[in-house]
Amino acid sequence: METTLIILKPDAVQRGLMGRIISRFEDKGLQVVGAKLMQISQDLAARHYEAHREKPFYAGLVKFMTSSPVLVLALRGKGAIAISRKMMGATFGSNAEPGTIRGDFGVSNSFNLIHGSDSPEAAQRELELFFGDGEVLNWDRSLDQWVYDLSGGQPE
């Protein structure tokens, strides 16, 4: 099982899309193991996006991400990172396929609704940035037996 970080960005929060987006992940079978509505500080945004510091869009990205509250999620499931990224769709809403979050809810090439970790290493780093000790929970869902084939002892 993998755990990934998802951020519903200011545009998703302001547009009232939080519930609809979370429902998509839960409908898919991913488990919400952490959630918090928060205002990202300049410092946290700078640390989160440090890899983009020298890129021309960095200042605008930090300004956008700190402009309004965001909803930060920890999602868990088998292949959660790849599944979440596929569900998110192409980076720019104008290029995202219908049926994806960005394809169904976005048209902007600047405001793209959602962030998701792109690798296990990024997920670990990002989860540590946004969640403190005890804020990402381990809990058993009774419905996992209907999400995954557990007959072999491991989720399939």
Domain containing 96 — which CATH number?
3.30.70.141
Contacts of 80 (CB under 8 A, 6+ apart): 1, 2, 3, 4, 30
Coil/strand/helix, residue 111 = coil
Number of domains present in the structure of the chain? 1
149 within a domain of the structure (yes/no):
no
pLDDT of residue 132: 97
Taking only the tens place, the pLDDT of each residue in 136-147 is: 999 999 888 889
pLDDT of residue 134: 96
How far apart (Å, rounded) are the C-alpha atoms in residues 58 and 150?
Answer: 44
119 within a domain of the structure (yes/no):
yes
Taking only the tens place, the pLDDT of each residue in 46-91 is: 999 999 999 999 999 999 999 999 999 999 999 999 999 999 999 9
141 within a domain of the structure (yes/no):
no
If one compares 92 and 154, the residue with the highest pLDDT of the two is: 92
The catalytic residues are 115
How far apart (Å, rounded) are the C-alpha atoms in residues 14 and 100?
Answer: 19
In Å, the largest CA–CA distance within the chain is: 51
143 within a domain of the structure (yes/no):
no
pLDDT of residue 87: 98
Average pLDDT score over the chain: 95
Average pLDDT over residues 95-103: 96
Contacts of 16 (CB under 8 A, 6+ apart): none
pLDDT of residue 7: 98
Bridging pattern class, strands 114-116 and 2-8: antiparallel
Q: By percentage, how much of the chain surpasses pLDDT 90?
A: 87
- Structural domain boundaries enclosing 39: 2-136
Q: What are the tokens at 52? A: 């983009």
CB atoms within 10 A of CB 32: 15
74 Rama class: left (phi>0) / alpha (psi -120 to 50) / beta: beta
